[in-house]
Chain A
Amino acid sequence: MTTGLLTTTVGSFPKPPYLQKARNAFASGKLSREELSELEQQATREVIALQEEIGLDILVDGEMARGDMVVFFAEHFAGMEVGGLVRSYGNRYYHKPVVKGPVRWQEPITVDLWRYAQSLTDKPVKGMLTGPYTMVEWSFLEGYDDFRQAVLEMARAVNYEALELDRAGAPFIQIDEPALSTRMEDIDLAIEAMAIATEGLTAKTATHICYGDFVSAYPRFLDMPVKQFDLEMANSSHDLVELLKTEGFPEDKEIAWGVVDVHSHEIESVDDVVAEIKRGLEVLPPERLYIDPDCGLKTRTWDESADKLRVIMEGVRKVRAELGIE
């Protein structure tokens, strides 16, 4: 068992083409829920097998049942509806959710597929949730006069789902808040909401926030009540690393250091990855430094994802060998 530089991923994996097709067929009523679920399981098996083969330490189910990270939960929470088509970019559209009324958790949403994924491997599989701030910020808001109240009630709904994962045995629960990155001024509200969302959990908790201005939100963002920050570091400003080096990082917290850029087709070199890991080691000891890609992999192809993860693994092995970590 290794004792440092554990490897993981942010959450999503690309959907195999057959699953993408099946999701379209299901949307137009040409495929049953059961048939789709079977294919989601097949894809989950492939995602787990890939991560095992590459040698990652903490796995994910790859989110094969999810399209948009907000819509997926909106379809299951009371008080939320899937709204009309809104353009995302180019010729891509999605049904943006609407918060209509009091938001309530109703039934487990992610537990079955997490349990299935965990049954396929001896390695820990992370439970993955969308954070309350992001759920509200990326939806239309009709049912509340007060944004803050909507976020805090959403946090309770997210907490119920997290508790279900916790009870099911998820060793690791990650609650992502990507919407915060463009609105760091709302960090206080996001922290308050995260405290509710993580209440009563025994699992290790983490949050992923992409491309945020952490320098201006330092040190307040460190109060986010999670054990691990999953941060994009490969392209982050030099300033953040310097800041963490000089001003420090809480001793009871960890960073999952994003070392490859998921938004680029190009595969990084092992040397790049090694250099990036060493930058991380200037801030944190290997036991508290996790290594991963800088964001979800769903925009990459299957092969690009695999290649990026292999490069990460190779870089990690090199540094582990240098440090004498098993």
Chain B
Amino acid sequence: MIATVVGSYPKVPNKPRPARLRLAINKFDRGDMTLEELDRVADEVTIEVLQEQVEAGLDFVTDGQIRWEDEQTYLARNLEGVSINGLIRWFDTNMYYRQPVIEEPLAWTKPSTVRDYTFATEHSSKPVKAVLTGPYTMARLSVDRHYNSVEALAGAFAEALNREAKALQDAGATFIQFNEPAILQAKDDYTTFVASCARVVDGLSAETGLYLYFGDVEGIYPQVLDLPFDLIGLDFVMGAKNEGLLHRTPFTKKLGLGIIDARNTRLEQPAAIAERIKTLGAGIDPDNIHVSPSAGLEFLPREVAQEKLRLLAEGVRQAEGVLV
């Protein structure tokens, strides 16, 4: 059984620890810091964040997406044909992202995340997964002034992200994950989603994952089991119906169990976590279960995020003791 995260990790700690990245970006914005210096701070914070995940007891970590301004901009800004617009609320969270505007045909010209991935693997004692926002979510959260069709735009994003994933794979990534919260808010569009999934993983030999959060898969389950990913992660916090769905139709892929609330500071206890794993993972080979928070951790203060991960890892170890 694997204790892991969905993607992001809080970028700055609370007092008395200094908010180094925040201060560095402020300095950079004022012209008091060079890009090289800012990059060095971001690297150091990435190392801290990797260490915190390992200290918490995780088996599989990420770079924390420390450099990401938000889950759209970081991937969109290096693509041709895109400009970055004003702030808009990210789903029903209290966090905002800048909306990509698609002005011309999308074109991938250079990797956005490969250097981050390589740096993270070099500085982590645990395996690192590569995490990207999926093509459908990228398309849904953009303003489309060129394609005039979600289907065409999602296809274009899938093409671009497929190039990104291949670059990650060439750099040694053995697990590449796509986060697709948007489809849970637009299940009518499932056909478009399926097409973009097929295109984004086309030709990949690395293991692949798909994380669906901020809701349940009612209406698209068990169909999602036919999607071309090795692992599918589900949100059992905001997706209360997922439990019943799994009960009715057994899960046939590796399962991502998002059972820790990534959006609330209330702490879950290891015994209860172990109990949830036992219930939800019944009938699935423990090696095929990845236990995680329900979504990325950026909605939480840093210290709470780490404490949640520590409790999560403890719960996973307890569950292993029982299931083995």
Contacts and interface: CB of A to CB of B under 8 A. Distances in A.
B73 to A, nearest CB: 9
A246 interface: no
A245 B24 CA distance: 53
A183 B92 contact: yes
Query: Chain A CB within 10 Å — which of B26, B92, B98 has the most?
Result: B92
Contact of A84 (B26, B69, B94, B302): B302
A89 B11 CA distance: 12
A95 to B, nearest CB: 9
Interface stretch (B83-91, B121-129, B269-277): B83-91
Given A96-B301, A138-B94, A85 B264 contact: no
A263 interface: yes
Interface in A167-215: 182-183
Contacts of B265: 83-84, 98, 140, 142
Contacts of A87: 10-12, 95, 298
B248 interface: no
Given A83-B265, A141-B266, A89 B70 contact: yes
A254 B19 CA distance: 47
A88 interface: yes
B148 interface: no
Contacts of B10: 85-87
Interface residues of A, number: 20
Interface string A149-178: 000000000000000000000000000000
Query: Chain A CB within 10 Å — which of B25, B95, B98 has the most?
Result: B95
B69 A83 contact: no
B87 A89 contact: yes
A83 B10 CA distance: 14
A287 B10 CA distance: 50
- Dominant SS at the B interface? loop
- Dominant SS at the A interface? strand
Contact of B94 (A90, A91, A96): A96
A198 B184 CA distance: 36
Contact of B97 (A89, A91, A93): A89
Contacts of A264: 86
Nearest to A178: B89
Contacts of A183: 92
Contacts of A141: 264, 266
Contact of B96 (A83, A88, A93, A182): A88
A41 B292 CA distance: 49
A91 B29 contact: yes
Interface in B254-309: 264-266, 298-304
B301 A85 contact: yes
Contacts of B11: 87
A154 B248 CA distance: 39
A102 to B, nearest CB: 16
A183 B91 CA distance: 10
9 contacts: A84-B14, A85-B14, A86-B94, A86-B298, A89-B70, A91-B22, A96-B94, A142-B266, A182-B91
Interface of A: 83-91, 93, 96, 98, 138, 140-142, 182-183, 263-264
Given A85-B12, A88-B95, 16 more contacts: A83-B301, A84-B303, A84-B304, A86-B94, A88-B96, A89-B69, A89-B95, A90-B69, A90-B98, A91-B22, A91-B25, A93-B22, A138-B94, A140-B265, A142-B265, A263-B87
